[in-house]
Chains A and B, each alone.
Chain A
């Protein structure tokens, strides 16, 4: 009952011309590229909610995950020239550029001695001025300071950069980082895989094959990771679907992805200011379609910090089951103009989920339940 469409939802979905897709989902069948495009272009947010929410309920019921972590962006100096990024092409010495000393970076974690966090999330610019040891020492320093924290660090783009810059294979890079304390990989840097959009967005970044190969290697070494998609800039609907299906294919191979995170494009302080930001409508349909297409990925995550509280709450009816956490020290989105408060207390986060009619569950990085909220 809970996991089935009500009569009215079913009529609504069929009325939107999606009965064949609904029937395939009824039977637990996989959706195709064409299905994905049709879902994106249906212009019926209600039908998407009904279908995506059913998939969410089947997996998680009303459970809604959150966690508590600290974000460390150790350096924003970056060689890449991605046009959607406010860190783009920052050089050491530029006014807005910074690189933390190891002591400073570890100090961010040390300063949270009494904070009830379970994870350190580290992503950085591609800084040409740092030695390989910097990253290993960063991990070792944090691990020595707080052995109980899970370290989720370095996007595939960074891993690829390390491999090229320090002359190692992906596997070597990952093995050395794991030995120093790396626990899992975040999902950033995927942007849009399709070469047309990728060339425009981030021509000098690792390509789709490289990004996927880094994650494949990580999964083969026993690490879990996340995956993302940057939506709402210059990509087409077909390119979004293509992106999701490439992730689905790798997941079929390795099973290593934990969660898919659609990242909404923010337009301030970068070269795409002339573009309008995606509206809630676009965010919600993207969450819904990803829940429906990515049948082999457990979780769909919406960062409340990007969406704002109201939209994060609504997203829970469009397939999202995770709203990330009480984040400290977030820099990237706030440099791009996100106006949400930078932290919400745990109690507020729990209330936010309850107000949305769901059951809050605190998790750690690997989705183990940390506490009954």
Chain B
């Protein structure tokens, strides 16, 4: 049995929401007065205590503070007052009630600061006698229940929580849970759990205390409260009222996220063995990013030996500016155009047919683009079938298919499979894709990869070519919590290499994450950087920009120790006919 965690608690009214539900199975509670709590901690008679802030600096002890909980105020506190029969300006002396040193120090700082009586002499008196001493031109600090039941003669009543708030704009913290740095495991969780049960019970506190506990006392040790605490300590130390010492919180309970060994699964994938669905999902759930990257890198080295990284001199073309973009792409040395039909209208199909003619006829570009969803949309708008629509596009000269954004889950739909199969039958090839960062789960991403691998398996065993590659990108725009970080993107790159056993090429589609992460992807299973002449205006995430300069792309590939090689839509490598500088490339 693990020994119980020993806790020192004060019996004040405002403490009970934090202390009454301390689990007796975990904690051994010792009731004491505030000053004793610090002493018990110092003597190691308790592990953690609810201690007044002033006690933390009594001996410069190495205390850590439990995050999240405190006894504080954010404005009127009602239980810490400066009182007198006369206004503060007329006082000759103020007596300090010894019961709460934190309140006494607060009073001294406020008298020196916003209350404007820095020279006022102070005198300590016995605990609980402040109100008695407050007579004539003598004021007093009174605290606790005494402050909430004052004789009527004391007409000056200054709430120190309020003065602090007005002066600093911050909450004030009177007491915190504190302990030595090596607090036993479970203590913080136990204290937090006790508060979670105790705080709601304030609503059923005795009538006299209810408003005080619910409104005047603030139990959150949040950012603002911490700031107030730090400010108070700094002021008290500067004034010589606190000894030296630092404020330090206990860190997060966990140092490391749990990591589960998936060595066996990784070894299987590296060897090219097929993973069952369950194993693939386990791998994607449990493997660390670096592990996946290492395995994917090894797999890539087996499948595609050498250090070549391909990219495609191609850019996107919208129906709105076909001739203009076509000319720009041709001028930049593009080999292909990626058609983006936009929101489908009845005329879009015809416009696509015309665009293909222009791009091929006038600019000698191969044309690709259009995914299953886009094709169906075009056909629907034009009042024809997807089959007929695709046939008319192929007749116009469409060279490739796919490569438009795809949501996770799409590849499980019969329509997706049918469209890809139809494209294959019409002689078109193209990549499957996945866009991450649209609210899908990690599992859904892996399912998507598994669906593509299933499809690919079927196609290959039926003697069809299947998809030509796989490309992953992140959704545009920064929406928190969608797990579309560079790490998340790299994971999918690596998982794609491991799960898509029958797909040769994995493209690190980098424009939304940048060329930096793309370099890292080259060490995580990717062998291709995809199209590099994209129109950045149309695709840049807010606040980001990227180069469309192929020499920058090549530079990034080269410095990472790879060789940059141009390819065409069919993944045929293009090599310079003479030198790259004259811009002429031929199929390898």
Contact = CB atoms under 8 A, between A and B. Distances in A.
A372 B252 contact: yes
Interface string B202-233: 00000000000000000000011011001101
Q: Which 6 A-B pairs have the closest CB atoms?
A: A280-B516, A61-B255, A43-B561, A148-B234, A61-B256, A355-B485
B294 A46 contact: yes
B560 interface: yes
B289 A317 contact: yes
A2 B258 CA distance: 8
A106 interface: no
A11 interface: yes
Contact of A351 (B226, B231, B481, B556): B481
Given A6-B266, A9-B290, A61-B255, A279 B519 contact: yes
Given A6-B261, A8-B291, A9-B291, A313 B246 contact: no
B266 A8 contact: yes
Nearest to A52: B290
Given A8-B266, A313-B487, A371 B249 contact: yes
B485 A116 contact: no
Interface string A175-217: 0000000000000000000000000000000000000000000
Contacts, number: 182
Interface of A: 1-2, 6-9, 11-12, 15, 43-46, 49-50, 53, 57, 60-63, 113-114, 116, 118, 146-148, 276, 279-284, 307-308, 310-311, 313-314, 317, 339, 341, 346-348, 351-352, 355-357, 359, 361, 366, 368-373
A347 B246 CA distance: 25
B527 interface: no
Contacts of A276: 555
Contact of A310 (B169, B227, B235, B516): B516
B519 A63 contact: no
A4 to B, nearest CB: 10
Given A282-B559, A355-B487, 10 more contacts: A6-B263, A46-B297, A62-B255, A62-B257, A308-B544, A311-B516, A355-B484, A357-B487, A369-B251, A371-B223
A369 B66 CA distance: 11
Contacts of A283: 516
A46 B524 contact: yes
A61 B266 CA distance: 23
A310 B513 contact: yes
A45 B251 contact: no
A148 B230 contact: yes
B267 interface: yes
Contacts of A60: 255
A8 B270 contact: yes
B517 A310 contact: yes
Contact of A62 (B237, B256, B523): B256
Contact of B289 (A63, A346, A351, A357): A357
Contact of B555 (A113, A279, A368): A279
A343 to B, nearest CB: 12
A57 B487 contact: no
A308 B559 contact: no
Interface string B236-276: 01100000001111111011111101010011001000000
A310 B520 CA distance: 11
Given A148-B234, A313-B485, A50 B294 contact: yes
